[in-house]
Amino acid sequence: MAYYYEEPSRTFNEFLLVPGYSGKECVPANVDLSAPITKFKKGEEEPAIKVKIPMVSAIMQSVSGENLAVALAKEGGISFIFGSQTIESQVAMVSHVKDYKAGFVQSDANARPDDTLADIVDLKESSGHSTIAITEDGTPSGKFVGLVTSRDYRLSRTPMDMPVKEFMTPFSKIVYGESGISLSEANDILWDHKLNALPIIDEHQRLTHFVFRKDYDSHKANPRELLDNKKRYIVGAGVNTRDYEERIPALVAAGVDVLCIDSSEGYTEWQKDVIQWVRKTYGETVKIGAGNVVDREGFKFLADAGADFIKIGIGGGSICITREQKGIGRGQASAVMDVAKARDEYLKETGIYIPICSDGGIVYDYHMTLALAMGSDFLMLGRYFARFDESPTERININGSFMKEYWGEGSARARNWQRYDMGGASKLSFEEGVDSYVPYAGSLKDNVEQSLSKVRSTMCNCGVMNIADLQKHAKLTRVSATSIVEGGAHDVVLKNQNNGGVNR
């Protein structure tokens, strides 16, 4: 007969942490949330890639675009650019993130001299940028002939059909830096000339980059920035088990730092083939994670195949209906705890520590701390990041409330059949995800800071100041249905802060 698990499949909502002794040094400011992303020999070497906060963004069209990748790297995490797009467009996103840092940014708001003010206004609205480079052909790397900022025109007086060449600041009057200049030298020019933007020009007068004053300020405001050895933002990318022999080399050439096989189920020969191809082609220089799995057998399979990290979770995402459609999966808490035990056993046997990532099942901020305490090294989040300004979707007003669109990779909208590929036809046979909305929540930075302040505070309550110690010393208790009710506001009439009314 089939194997039967005696223990029910548990979710994060069924557990609470029990406080431990906290010394005076155990304050949130002292808590270290750094975590390994890639495998390493414990006690002998450091992981090739670490995050400064245990958060990465999900490999989803509605979550991980280039803007979110930059914003998350500024906070110390990694975004995995979604792979359900053409190789060329995914490479372009990765290249944008890698080019963004070191202060040298490729121009993404460009116009031609014969364009009009109306074109400038439209470009400003679509790009969100007020500094627009004017090149002969309107491309980011064309011959640079001028610059337009909001100081160059007045909408109340300048005709909308006026050509750009008549009101732009011409090249002869522009302070610029020459290609090859260091970031420090570029920042000196910005400050000496009181500029907001410095174009960088090559020997043929072609535009190569911009350096912005705001990026200098941003660097000072984001001390946890996650940078590579060239001081560029670290970024990941998702790959599939079909076109990996073409996609992976293109992503590696673009500078991607870490890859992850994007699949609903990782205990497959197809994932083993991808990992072994990477090892044969690149050795250990290219880092690739795999998954998803929900038990020790799945972990052991991918660990032996050579995965750099392993993702946990099937059917626990808020937009995932795999469990409804196929009756397959496992409660996320049970999955994480089982895989964490397998990870620790593998470490004892081999001396190699393979980080594990909890993917899905996070509803409340405190679930993050629970997932880490149960053994996860870092967390992959989709719905959480989809709510922010930086996600790729539009903010829309629905019945007076601002929302963001959020859809699953297994939905009819995404049609990411490669993620659910079982070796059959090249199509999505049935949906395993939904198309939905999530409440708009503002900027990534503000929300991440608030969420992690809760994590740090809870860790101090447990008497620990890093994730490794949390995993060693955390005490967990199961909760009953009545204790869940007791844990929230109850037996009171709540004031509604927005309209003065009450909610029960």
Tens of pLDDT, residues 121-132: 999 888 878 899
Question: Is residue 232 within 8 Å of residue 101, measured between CB atoms?
Answer: yes
φ and ψ at residue 298, rounded to 5 degrees: -65, -40
Q: Supply the DSSP symbol for 13.
A: G
| Confidence at residue 214, expressed as pLDDT on a 0 to 100 scale | 73
pLDDT reading at 233 higher than 70: yes
pLDDT reading at 95 higher than 90: yes
Q: Which three-class secondary structure state does DSSP give residue 67?
A: helix
Whether residue 292 is preceded by a cis peptide bond, meaning omega within 30 degrees of 0, is: yes
Catalytic residue among 419, 456, 460, 462: 419
Q: Supply the DSSP symbol for 320.
A: B
For the chain, the average pLDDT equals: 90
| Confidence at residue 425, expressed as pLDDT on a 0 to 100 scale | 55
Regarding predicted confidence, which is higher, 188 or 344? 344
- Mean of the pLDDT values across residues 240-254? 96
Rounded percentage of the chain residues whose pLDDT exceeds 90: 69
| Confidence at residue 489, expressed as pLDDT on a 0 to 100 scale | 79
pLDDT reading at 115 higher than 90: yes
Ranges assigned E (strand) in 129-220:
132-135, 144-148, 169-170, 177-178, 197-201, 207-212
Distance CA 119, CA 161 (A): 9
Tens of pLDDT, residues 132-176: 999 999 999 999 999 999 889 988 888 999 999 999 999 999 999
Regarding predicted confidence, which is higher, 504 or 483? 483
Count other C-beta atoms under 10 Å from residue 55's C-beta.
26
Catalytic residue among 10, 247, 260, 320: 320
| Confidence at residue 408, expressed as pLDDT on a 0 to 100 scale | 74
Read off the pLDDT band of 353 (50, 70, 90): very high
| Confidence at residue 413, expressed as pLDDT on a 0 to 100 scale | 63
Count other C-beta atoms under 10 Å from residue 216's C-beta.
16
Instruction: Note if 357 is an active site residue.
Output: no
pLDDT reading at 380 higher than 90: yes
Q: What dihedral angle (degrees, nearest 10) is formed by the CA atoms of 68, 69, 75, 76? A: 150
| Confidence at residue 182, expressed as pLDDT on a 0 to 100 scale | 83
Distance CA 221, CA 441 (A): 21
Residue that is written with structure tokens 């996103």 in the block = 93
| Confidence at residue 364, expressed as pLDDT on a 0 to 100 scale | 95
Read off the pLDDT band of 187 (50, 70, 90): confident
Beta-bridged to residue 227, according to DSSP, are 233
pLDDT reading at 440 higher than 60: yes
Compute and round to an integer the Cα radius of gyration of the chain: 25
Distance CA 131, CA 460 (A): 45
Residue that is written with structure tokens 């064309």 in the block = 142
pLDDT reading at 500 higher than 50: no
Distance CA 98, CA 228 (A): 9
Read off the pLDDT band of 370 (50, 70, 90): very high
pLDDT reading at 40 higher than 50: yes
Instruction: Note if 242 is an active site residue.
Output: no
Tens of pLDDT, residues 291-311: 899 999 999 999 999 999 999
- Mean of the pLDDT values across residues 381-386? 96
Regarding predicted confidence, which is higher, 501 or 319? 319
Distance CA 353, CA 355 (A): 6
| Confidence at residue 497, expressed as pLDDT on a 0 to 100 scale | 54
| Confidence at residue 492, expressed as pLDDT on a 0 to 100 scale | 86
Distance CA 436, CA 382 (A): 13
Looking at mean pLDDT, say which of 232-236, 327-331, 494-498 comes out highest: 232-236
| Confidence at residue 102, expressed as pLDDT on a 0 to 100 scale | 56
pLDDT reading at 414 higher than 80: no
| Confidence at residue 463, expressed as pLDDT on a 0 to 100 scale | 97
pLDDT reading at 429 higher than 60: no
φ and ψ at residue 494, rounded to 5 degrees: -85, 140
| Confidence at residue 426, expressed as pLDDT on a 0 to 100 scale | 56
Residue 64 neighbours by CB under 8 Å, 6+ apart:
57, 58, 79, 80, 81, 82, 238, 385, 392
- Mean of the pLDDT values across residues 232-254? 96
pLDDT reading at 430 higher than 60: no
Tens of pLDDT, residues 194-209: 888 899 999 999 999 8
| Confidence at residue 127, expressed as pLDDT on a 0 to 100 scale | 80
pLDDT reading at 418 higher than 70: no
- Single pTM value for the model: 0.81
Count other C-beta atoms under 10 Å from residue 115's C-beta.
20
- Mean of the pLDDT values across residues 441-453? 97
What are the distances in angstroms from CA 208 to CA 99, 333, 415, 496? 10, 49, 37, 53
| Confidence at residue 319, expressed as pLDDT on a 0 to 100 scale | 72
pLDDT reading at 501 higher than 50: no
Q: Supply the DSSP symbol for 16.
A: E
